[in-house]
């Protein structure tokens, strides 16, 4: 797997590292995340940006040696962690994330994100959905309908998704999905009543110039 990471990533726009984090790690991340949400009075928004700002536990997670090795293959030796966010879906926060690419949210150089399952994720509780290879289609128009008020202001349009080869990324807690910021992705609503939490961390090549990102408060070079 390790030798093929770069090749697979370039062809498909994503790679999966199964079992990257242990049960113990995941337990610690969920406990710490619960405290962070409580301390910051976070309710039903479903997304909290800045876990590594809030706790060193997440800074350490961002620098997991096996993950860093994979990122170095994709990005090169100059890997910079920019930011992370918790995407927490449960019985009260059950919406699916709409189809989008991440690139229009930050522009500048292309970034690499890592979606880490903090719960087992299935179609019933809101696993990720992706279109393999869609990162090769470039940046789409992002004029999708936002009238549901669920945020995600840069959405793909239905026409971008119709006829595409969509796959569901079923994951066990501890699995990590590394993906390109042009990859078309979304998630199912969580109709299970159970938690479906994920941590998404974003990285860049430190050799690339970029604007000052106000959200990258805990950025560090790995």
Ligand X SMILES: O=C(O)CCC(=O)C(=O)O
Q: Which positions ≥6 away from 126 have C-beta within 8 Å?
A: 89, 94, 96, 187, 188, 189, 190, 192, 196
Taking the CA of residue 196 as centre, how many other CA atoms within 13 Å lie in the half-sphere pointing to its CB?
26
Question: Which of 55, 190 has the CB closer to ligand X?
Answer: 190
Nearer to ligand X, 54 or 171 (CB): 171
Q: Which x/- pattern over 149-168 shows residues binding ligand X (rule: CB under 6 A)? A: --------------------
Per the CB < 8 A criterion, the answer to whether 178 and 116 are in contact is: no
Residue 47, H or E segment: strand 47-49
Q: Closest CB to ligand X among 55 and 97?
A: 97
Can residue 87 be called a binding residue for ligand X (CB under 6 A)?
Answer: yes
102 binds ligand X (CB under 6 A): yes
Instruction: Kindly write out the interface string for residues 38-67 of this chain, putting x where it contacts ligand X by CB under 6 A and - elsewhere.
Output: ---------x--------------------
CB-nearer residue toward ligand X: 72 or 168: 168
Q: Min. distance of Cβ 106 from ligand X in angstroms?
A: 11
> Pick from 181, 191, 132, 126: which is nearest to 154 by CA?
181
Q: Determine the Cα–Cα distance for residues 185 and 157; give it in Å rounded to an integer.
A: 12
Report yes or no: 64 and 201 within 8 Å, Cβ to Cβ. no
Q: Does 218 contact ligand X by CB under 6 A? A: no
CB 55 within 8 A of CB 31: no
Site string for ligand X, 174-213 (x = CB under 6 A): -----------x-x----------x-x-------------
Interface residue list for ligand X (CB under 6 A): 47, 87, 97, 102, 128, 185, 187, 198, 200
């Amino acid at each position: 797997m390790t030798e093929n990471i770069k090749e697979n990533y370039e062809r498909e726009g994503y790679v999966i590292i199964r079992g990257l984090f242990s049960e113990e790690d995941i337990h610690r991340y969920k406990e710490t995340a619960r405290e962070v949400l409580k301390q910051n009075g976070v309710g039903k928004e479903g997304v909290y940006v800045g876990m590594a700002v809030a706790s060193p536990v997440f800074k350490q997670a961002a620098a997991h040696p096996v993950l860093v090795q994979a990122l170095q293959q994709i990005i090169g030796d100059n890997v910079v962690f920019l930011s992370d966010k918790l995407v927490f879906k449960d019985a009260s926060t059950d919406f699916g994330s709409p189809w989008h690419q991440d690139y229009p949210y930050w522009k500048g150089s292309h970034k690499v994100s890592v979606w880490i399952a903090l719960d087992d994720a299935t179609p019933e509780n809101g696993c990720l959905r992706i279109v393999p290879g869609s990162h090769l289609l470039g940046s789409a128009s992002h004029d999708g309908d936002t009238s549901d008020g669920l945020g995600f202001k840069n959405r793909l349009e239905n026409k971008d998704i119709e006829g595409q080869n969509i796959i569901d990324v079923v994951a066990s807690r501890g699995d990590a999905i590394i993906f390109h910021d042009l990859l078309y992705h979304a998630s199912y609503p969580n109709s299970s009543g159970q938690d479906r939490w994920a941590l998404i961390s974003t990285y860049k090549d430190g050799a690339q110039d970029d604007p000052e990102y106000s959200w990258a408060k805990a950025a560090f070079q790995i």
